[in-house]
Structure 1
Amino acid sequence: MYDHVQDIVNNIISEQLEEGHLLAERFFRICQEFRGFDAPNFDIDENTALLNDLLEFEKNICSLEFLYMFYGYIARMYLQTGNAENSIIYGQDAVELNERVKDTEGVRAANNVLGDCAFANDSALVGVEFFEKAQPRSLPQIEHYKKLPNHNAHHINKLLKRKKRPSTFKYFESPETQKLEESIRLMMVAQGCTRATSKRYCDNLPS
Protein backbone atom coordinates (compact mmCIF):
# COMPACT_ATOMS: atom_id res chain seq x y z
CA MET A 1 0.00 0.00 0.00
CA TYR A 2 2.79 2.41 0.94
CA ASP A 3 4.60 1.69 -2.34
CA HIS A 4 1.41 2.44 -4.29
CA VAL A 5 0.94 5.79 -2.53
CA GLN A 6 4.60 6.66 -3.04
CA ASP A 7 4.27 5.86 -6.74
CA ILE A 8 1.36 8.30 -7.00
CA VAL A 9 3.35 11.00 -5.20
CA ASN A 10 6.39 10.40 -7.40
CA ASN A 11 4.27 10.61 -10.56
CA ILE A 12 2.73 13.91 -9.47
CA ILE A 13 6.11 15.41 -8.61
CA SER A 14 7.57 14.14 -11.90
CA GLU A 15 4.78 15.73 -13.94
CA GLN A 16 5.15 19.02 -12.10
CA LEU A 17 8.92 18.88 -12.50
CA GLU A 18 8.44 18.65 -16.26
CA GLU A 19 5.97 21.55 -16.17
CA GLY A 20 8.49 23.59 -14.21
CA HIS A 21 11.22 22.73 -16.70
CA LEU A 22 9.08 23.95 -19.61
CA LEU A 23 8.26 27.17 -17.77
CA ALA A 24 11.95 27.73 -17.05
CA GLU A 25 12.78 27.26 -20.74
CA ARG A 26 10.20 29.90 -21.69
CA PHE A 27 11.52 32.21 -18.98
CA PHE A 28 15.14 32.04 -20.10
CA ARG A 29 14.24 32.43 -23.76
CA ILE A 30 12.18 35.55 -23.06
CA CYS A 31 14.90 37.02 -20.84
CA GLN A 32 17.62 36.33 -23.41
CA GLU A 33 15.56 38.04 -26.12
CA PHE A 34 14.67 41.07 -23.96
CA ARG A 35 16.29 44.27 -25.26
CA GLY A 36 14.13 46.83 -23.47
CA PHE A 37 10.49 47.82 -23.33
CA ASP A 38 10.82 49.95 -26.47
CA ALA A 39 12.54 47.26 -28.55
CA PRO A 40 10.62 46.27 -31.70
CA ASN A 41 10.45 42.62 -30.70
CA PHE A 42 9.20 43.21 -27.13
CA ASP A 43 5.89 41.36 -26.69
CA ILE A 44 4.05 42.39 -23.54
CA ASP A 45 1.40 39.73 -24.13
CA GLU A 46 4.00 36.96 -24.18
CA ASN A 47 5.53 38.25 -20.95
CA THR A 48 2.11 38.54 -19.32
CA ALA A 49 1.13 35.02 -20.40
CA LEU A 50 4.30 33.59 -18.85
CA LEU A 51 3.75 35.57 -15.66
CA ASN A 52 0.23 34.18 -15.34
CA ASP A 53 1.48 30.63 -15.91
CA LEU A 54 4.21 31.11 -13.29
CA LEU A 55 1.66 32.37 -10.77
CA GLU A 56 -0.56 29.36 -11.48
CA PHE A 57 2.43 27.08 -10.96
CA GLU A 58 3.12 28.81 -7.65
CA LYS A 59 -0.46 28.08 -6.52
CA ASN A 60 -0.35 24.38 -7.43
CA ILE A 61 3.20 23.08 -7.07
CA CYS A 62 3.36 20.26 -4.53
CA SER A 63 7.07 20.55 -3.78
CA LEU A 64 7.41 24.06 -2.39
CA GLU A 65 11.19 24.10 -2.74
CA PHE A 66 10.57 24.94 -6.40
CA LEU A 67 9.58 28.41 -5.22
CA TYR A 68 13.12 29.19 -4.07
CA MET A 69 13.89 29.51 -7.78
CA PHE A 70 10.48 30.46 -9.14
CA TYR A 71 10.04 33.50 -6.87
CA GLY A 72 12.94 35.01 -8.80
CA TYR A 73 11.32 34.15 -12.13
CA ILE A 74 8.05 35.72 -11.03
CA ALA A 75 9.88 38.83 -9.83
CA ARG A 76 11.56 39.20 -13.22
CA MET A 77 8.29 38.78 -15.12
CA TYR A 78 6.55 41.33 -12.90
CA LEU A 79 9.38 43.71 -13.77
CA GLN A 80 9.01 43.00 -17.50
CA THR A 81 5.26 43.61 -17.31
CA GLY A 82 5.70 46.94 -15.51
CA ASN A 83 4.74 46.02 -11.94
CA ALA A 84 7.58 47.30 -9.76
CA GLU A 85 5.80 46.67 -6.45
CA ASN A 86 5.22 42.97 -7.03
CA SER A 87 8.64 42.57 -8.60
CA ILE A 88 10.16 43.87 -5.38
CA ILE A 89 7.93 41.69 -3.18
CA TYR A 90 8.94 38.49 -4.94
CA GLY A 91 12.55 39.58 -5.42
CA GLN A 92 13.07 40.28 -1.72
CA ASP A 93 11.61 36.93 -0.73
CA ALA A 94 13.70 35.16 -3.36
CA VAL A 95 16.76 36.67 -1.66
CA GLU A 96 15.56 35.55 1.78
CA LEU A 97 14.70 31.97 0.79
CA ASN A 98 17.95 31.46 -1.10
CA GLU A 99 19.97 32.92 1.77
CA ARG A 100 18.38 30.35 4.09
CA VAL A 101 19.76 27.48 2.02
CA LYS A 102 23.02 29.29 1.18
CA ASP A 103 22.30 29.26 -2.57
CA THR A 104 24.66 32.04 -3.63
CA GLU A 105 23.59 31.86 -7.28
CA GLY A 106 19.92 32.22 -6.29
CA VAL A 107 20.75 35.20 -4.07
CA ARG A 108 22.79 36.81 -6.84
CA ALA A 109 20.00 36.38 -9.39
CA ALA A 110 17.41 37.84 -7.03
CA ASN A 111 19.62 40.85 -6.25
CA ASN A 112 20.05 41.37 -10.00
CA VAL A 113 16.27 41.52 -10.41
CA LEU A 114 15.94 44.04 -7.58
CA GLY A 115 18.73 46.14 -9.07
CA ASP A 116 17.18 46.04 -12.54
CA CYS A 117 13.82 47.01 -11.06
CA ALA A 118 15.39 50.06 -9.43
CA PHE A 119 17.26 51.05 -12.62
CA ALA A 120 14.10 50.64 -14.72
CA ASN A 121 12.24 52.94 -12.32
CA ASP A 122 14.79 55.77 -12.27
CA SER A 123 16.33 54.87 -8.93
CA ALA A 124 19.95 54.40 -9.96
CA LEU A 125 21.61 54.62 -6.55
CA VAL A 126 19.17 52.08 -5.12
CA GLY A 127 19.91 49.82 -8.07
CA VAL A 128 23.65 50.18 -7.51
CA GLU A 129 23.27 48.84 -3.95
CA PHE A 130 21.78 45.60 -5.29
CA PHE A 131 24.12 45.43 -8.28
CA GLU A 132 27.13 45.67 -5.97
CA LYS A 133 25.80 42.66 -4.03
CA ALA A 134 25.24 40.68 -7.23
CA GLN A 135 28.31 41.79 -9.20
CA PRO A 136 30.81 43.22 -6.69
CA ARG A 137 33.73 43.11 -9.13
CA SER A 138 32.02 45.02 -11.96
CA LEU A 139 33.45 48.41 -10.99
CA PRO A 140 33.26 50.11 -14.43
CA GLN A 141 29.56 49.20 -14.73
CA ILE A 142 28.87 50.35 -11.18
CA GLU A 143 30.40 53.76 -11.90
CA HIS A 144 28.28 54.01 -15.06
CA TYR A 145 25.07 53.06 -13.24
CA LYS A 146 25.68 55.72 -10.59
CA LYS A 147 25.20 58.37 -13.29
CA LEU A 148 21.76 57.12 -14.37
CA PRO A 149 18.52 58.89 -13.29
CA ASN A 150 17.77 58.68 -9.58
CA HIS A 151 14.76 60.99 -9.11
CA ASN A 152 12.40 58.12 -8.17
CA ALA A 153 14.58 56.63 -5.43
CA HIS A 154 12.26 57.72 -2.60
CA HIS A 155 9.33 55.77 -4.09
CA ILE A 156 11.37 52.60 -4.69
CA ASN A 157 12.83 52.77 -1.19
CA LYS A 158 9.28 52.96 0.18
CA LEU A 159 8.36 49.80 -1.72
CA LEU A 160 11.48 48.06 -0.43
CA LYS A 161 10.51 48.83 3.17
CA ARG A 162 7.04 47.33 2.91
CA LYS A 163 6.42 44.02 4.66
CA LYS A 164 4.03 42.59 2.08
CA ARG A 165 4.72 38.99 1.12
CA PRO A 166 3.58 36.58 -1.58
CA SER A 167 0.60 34.60 -0.30
CA THR A 168 2.65 31.39 -0.41
CA PHE A 169 5.52 32.73 1.69
CA LYS A 170 3.70 31.85 4.93
CA TYR A 171 4.27 28.17 4.18
CA PHE A 172 7.99 28.69 4.78
CA GLU A 173 7.52 29.76 8.41
CA SER A 174 8.71 26.34 9.59
CA PRO A 175 9.44 22.86 8.20
CA GLU A 176 6.12 21.75 9.71
CA THR A 177 4.02 24.36 7.90
CA GLN A 178 5.80 23.58 4.64
CA LYS A 179 5.24 19.83 5.02
CA LEU A 180 1.56 20.32 5.86
CA GLU A 181 0.95 22.53 2.83
CA GLU A 182 2.73 20.08 0.56
CA SER A 183 0.55 17.26 1.92
CA ILE A 184 -2.60 19.31 1.31
CA ARG A 185 -1.62 20.03 -2.27
CA LEU A 186 -0.66 16.43 -2.99
CA MET A 187 -3.99 15.20 -1.67
CA MET A 188 -5.87 17.71 -3.83
CA VAL A 189 -4.06 16.56 -6.98
CA ALA A 190 -4.14 12.83 -6.18
CA GLN A 191 -7.80 12.69 -5.11
CA GLY A 192 -9.23 15.60 -7.07
CA CYS A 193 -10.77 16.99 -3.88
CA THR A 194 -11.22 20.55 -2.67
CA ARG A 195 -8.65 22.32 -0.54
CA ALA A 196 -11.05 22.30 2.41
CA THR A 197 -11.52 18.52 2.22
CA SER A 198 -7.80 17.92 1.80
CA LYS A 199 -6.95 20.21 4.71
CA ARG A 200 -9.41 18.46 7.03
CA TYR A 201 -7.87 15.12 6.18
CA CYS A 202 -4.27 16.31 6.55
CA ASP A 203 -5.01 18.13 9.80
CA ASN A 204 -6.11 14.81 11.30
CA LEU A 205 -3.05 12.86 10.24
CA PRO A 206 -0.75 11.80 13.12
CA SER A 207 2.25 14.11 13.41
Structure 2
Amino acid sequence: MRLTQADASFLYTESASGPMHISSVYVLEGELAFEKVFEHFQSRLHLVPSYRRKLAHVPLNIAHPEWVDDPEFDLANHVFSHKVPAGSTLQQGVDAAIELNEPILDRSRPLWKVYVIEGVPDRTLILQMTHHAMIDGASGIELTTVLYDFDAKGANVEPPPAKPWVAAPVPSAFERFNTALQENLSRSSLSDAFSAASRIPASQQAL
Protein backbone atom coordinates (compact mmCIF):
# COMPACT_ATOMS: atom_id res chain seq x y z
CA MET A 1 0.00 0.00 0.00
CA ARG A 2 1.69 3.18 -1.21
CA LEU A 3 1.68 6.30 0.95
CA THR A 4 -0.26 9.26 -0.34
CA GLN A 5 1.49 12.55 -1.04
CA ALA A 6 0.05 13.98 2.17
CA ASP A 7 1.15 11.04 4.32
CA ALA A 8 4.61 10.87 2.73
CA SER A 9 5.13 14.58 3.36
CA PHE A 10 5.19 13.87 7.10
CA LEU A 11 8.22 11.64 6.51
CA TYR A 12 10.03 14.05 4.22
CA THR A 13 9.69 17.04 6.54
CA GLU A 14 10.52 15.21 9.76
CA SER A 15 13.65 16.05 11.71
CA ALA A 16 15.00 15.56 15.22
CA SER A 17 13.81 19.05 16.11
CA GLY A 18 10.51 18.60 14.29
CA PRO A 19 9.17 15.07 14.91
CA MET A 20 6.03 14.06 13.05
CA HIS A 21 4.54 11.52 15.41
CA ILE A 22 1.48 12.18 17.53
CA SER A 23 1.97 11.70 21.26
CA SER A 24 -0.94 11.26 23.64
CA VAL A 25 -1.11 10.42 27.33
CA TYR A 26 -4.14 8.43 28.42
CA VAL A 27 -5.04 8.40 32.10
CA LEU A 28 -7.02 5.29 33.02
CA GLU A 29 -8.86 4.73 36.26
CA GLY A 30 -7.48 1.93 38.37
CA GLU A 31 -4.06 0.33 38.49
CA LEU A 32 -3.64 -2.01 35.51
CA ALA A 33 -0.67 -4.38 35.53
CA PHE A 34 1.63 -4.06 32.54
CA GLU A 35 1.02 -7.70 31.64
CA LYS A 36 -2.71 -7.08 31.38
CA VAL A 37 -2.24 -4.09 29.08
CA PHE A 38 0.23 -6.05 26.95
CA GLU A 39 -2.19 -8.96 26.58
CA HIS A 40 -4.99 -6.54 25.77
CA PHE A 41 -2.99 -4.98 22.94
CA GLN A 42 -2.09 -8.44 21.70
CA SER A 43 -5.77 -9.35 21.55
CA ARG A 44 -6.64 -6.24 19.51
CA LEU A 45 -3.83 -6.16 16.95
CA HIS A 46 -5.95 -7.91 14.32
CA LEU A 47 -8.26 -4.88 14.41
CA VAL A 48 -5.45 -2.44 13.54
CA PRO A 49 -3.46 -4.14 10.74
CA SER A 50 -1.48 -0.95 10.12
CA TYR A 51 0.27 -1.55 13.45
CA ARG A 52 2.08 -4.54 11.92
CA ARG A 53 3.26 -2.67 8.83
CA LYS A 54 6.54 -0.89 8.27
CA LEU A 55 7.95 1.34 5.56
CA ALA A 56 9.55 -0.06 2.41
CA HIS A 57 11.33 2.48 0.25
CA VAL A 58 11.52 2.37 -3.54
CA PRO A 59 15.00 2.24 -5.13
CA LEU A 60 16.11 5.61 -6.49
CA ASN A 61 13.09 7.14 -4.72
CA ILE A 62 11.04 7.18 -7.92
CA ALA A 63 7.87 6.92 -5.82
CA HIS A 64 6.69 7.36 -2.27
CA PRO A 65 7.42 4.50 0.15
CA GLU A 66 4.84 1.80 0.70
CA TRP A 67 3.53 -0.03 3.74
CA VAL A 68 4.44 -3.73 3.96
CA ASP A 69 3.90 -6.34 6.64
CA ASP A 70 6.83 -6.54 9.06
CA PRO A 71 7.98 -10.20 8.98
CA GLU A 72 9.86 -9.64 12.25
CA PHE A 73 7.00 -7.92 14.06
CA ASP A 74 7.15 -8.41 17.82
CA LEU A 75 4.78 -6.57 20.15
CA ALA A 76 7.57 -6.47 22.74
CA ASN A 77 9.37 -3.97 20.49
CA HIS A 78 6.45 -1.58 20.75
CA VAL A 79 4.83 -1.89 24.19
CA PHE A 80 7.04 -1.15 27.20
CA SER A 81 6.72 -0.88 30.95
CA HIS A 82 7.88 2.14 32.92
CA LYS A 83 7.55 2.41 36.67
CA VAL A 84 7.59 5.67 38.61
CA PRO A 85 8.18 5.59 42.38
CA ALA A 86 5.18 4.19 44.25
CA GLY A 87 2.88 6.96 45.42
CA SER A 88 3.86 9.37 42.64
CA THR A 89 1.36 12.09 41.83
CA LEU A 90 -0.52 12.23 38.55
CA GLN A 91 1.63 15.19 37.49
CA GLN A 92 4.77 13.18 38.17
CA GLY A 93 3.37 10.42 35.99
CA VAL A 94 2.70 12.90 33.19
CA ASP A 95 6.20 14.34 33.59
CA ALA A 96 7.61 10.82 33.17
CA ALA A 97 5.60 10.42 29.96
CA ILE A 98 7.02 13.69 28.63
CA GLU A 99 10.56 12.47 29.31
CA LEU A 100 9.85 9.15 27.57
CA ASN A 101 8.54 10.83 24.44
CA GLU A 102 11.08 10.19 21.68
CA PRO A 103 12.34 12.68 19.07
CA ILE A 104 11.96 10.24 16.15
CA LEU A 105 10.47 6.75 15.92
CA ASP A 106 12.55 3.90 14.50
CA ARG A 107 11.67 3.73 10.79
CA SER A 108 12.90 0.15 10.46
CA ARG A 109 9.83 -0.95 12.45
CA PRO A 110 6.13 -0.09 12.45
CA LEU A 111 5.93 3.57 13.43
CA TRP A 112 4.35 3.41 16.85
CA LYS A 113 5.32 2.84 20.46
CA VAL A 114 3.56 2.65 23.82
CA TYR A 115 4.76 3.06 27.39
CA VAL A 116 2.62 1.80 30.27
CA ILE A 117 3.42 3.95 33.31
CA GLU A 118 2.77 2.38 36.70
CA GLY A 119 3.17 3.79 40.20
CA VAL A 120 0.47 6.48 40.42
CA PRO A 121 -2.15 5.42 42.99
CA ASP A 122 -5.49 4.40 41.43
CA ARG A 123 -4.31 5.38 37.96
CA THR A 124 -2.53 3.89 34.96
CA LEU A 125 -0.94 6.21 32.41
CA ILE A 126 -0.27 5.16 28.83
CA LEU A 127 1.95 7.16 26.52
CA GLN A 128 0.97 6.46 22.91
CA MET A 129 3.25 7.54 20.05
CA THR A 130 2.02 7.02 16.49
CA HIS A 131 3.50 8.56 13.36
CA HIS A 132 1.28 11.01 11.53
CA ALA A 133 1.99 9.15 8.27
CA MET A 134 0.01 6.22 9.69
CA ILE A 135 -3.11 7.97 10.86
CA ASP A 136 -5.35 10.97 10.32
CA GLY A 137 -7.87 12.47 12.72
CA ALA A 138 -10.67 10.01 11.98
CA SER A 139 -8.52 6.87 12.03
CA GLY A 140 -6.85 8.10 15.21
CA ILE A 141 -10.19 8.25 16.99
CA GLU A 142 -11.11 4.78 15.73
CA LEU A 143 -7.75 3.42 16.83
CA THR A 144 -8.17 4.86 20.31
CA THR A 145 -11.62 3.32 20.62
CA VAL A 146 -10.31 -0.11 19.63
CA LEU A 147 -7.11 -0.16 21.68
CA TYR A 148 -8.24 1.57 24.85
CA ASP A 149 -11.53 -0.18 25.46
CA PHE A 150 -10.57 -2.24 28.49
CA ASP A 151 -14.07 -3.62 28.97
CA ALA A 152 -13.53 -6.97 30.66
CA LYS A 153 -16.33 -8.52 28.63
CA GLY A 154 -14.97 -7.24 25.34
CA ALA A 155 -18.50 -6.54 24.15
CA ASN A 156 -18.98 -6.17 20.40
CA VAL A 157 -15.29 -6.77 19.71
CA GLU A 158 -14.32 -9.16 16.94
CA PRO A 159 -12.17 -11.93 18.46
CA PRO A 160 -8.73 -12.70 17.05
CA PRO A 161 -8.71 -15.15 14.13
CA ALA A 162 -8.11 -18.80 14.91
CA LYS A 163 -4.98 -18.92 12.76
CA PRO A 164 -1.96 -16.92 13.96
CA TRP A 165 -1.06 -13.85 11.92
CA VAL A 166 1.54 -14.43 9.22
CA ALA A 167 3.20 -11.53 7.42
CA ALA A 168 2.64 -11.26 3.70
CA PRO A 169 5.87 -11.59 1.68
CA VAL A 170 7.75 -8.31 1.35
CA PRO A 171 8.25 -7.37 -2.31
CA SER A 172 11.90 -7.33 -3.35
CA ALA A 173 13.63 -4.06 -4.19
CA PHE A 174 13.31 -4.91 -7.89
CA GLU A 175 9.59 -5.63 -7.52
CA ARG A 176 9.03 -2.37 -5.66
CA PHE A 177 10.95 -0.46 -8.32
CA ASN A 178 9.08 -2.13 -11.19
CA THR A 179 5.67 -1.54 -9.60
CA ALA A 180 6.46 2.12 -8.97
CA LEU A 181 7.77 2.53 -12.52
CA GLN A 182 4.57 1.09 -13.98
CA GLU A 183 2.48 3.38 -11.77
CA ASN A 184 4.49 6.39 -12.93
CA LEU A 185 4.15 5.44 -16.59
CA SER A 186 0.41 4.91 -16.17
CA ARG A 187 -0.04 8.32 -14.55
CA SER A 188 2.08 9.94 -17.25
CA SER A 189 -0.01 8.39 -20.03
CA LEU A 190 -3.23 9.45 -18.35
CA SER A 191 -1.91 12.97 -17.85
CA ASP A 192 -0.90 13.18 -21.52
CA ALA A 193 -4.36 12.02 -22.58
CA PHE A 194 -6.07 14.69 -20.47
CA SER A 195 -3.64 17.31 -21.74
CA ALA A 196 -4.35 16.36 -25.36
CA ALA A 197 -8.10 16.40 -24.74
CA SER A 198 -7.88 19.89 -23.27
CA ARG A 199 -6.34 21.16 -26.51
CA ILE A 200 -9.22 19.94 -28.69
CA PRO A 201 -11.45 22.87 -29.76
CA ALA A 202 -14.79 22.99 -27.97
CA SER A 203 -16.65 22.66 -31.28
CA GLN A 204 -14.93 19.35 -31.97
CA GLN A 205 -15.39 18.09 -28.40
CA ALA A 206 -19.15 18.53 -28.87
CA LEU A 207 -19.01 16.16 -31.82
Structure of higher CA gyration radius: 2
Q: TM-score, normalising length from structure 2?
A: 0.28
Q: Which has the higher contact order (CA 8 A, sep 6+)?
A: 2
In terms of fraction of residues, the more strand-rich structure is 2
In terms of fraction of residues, the more helix-rich structure is 1
Q: TM-score, normalising length from structure 1?
A: 0.28
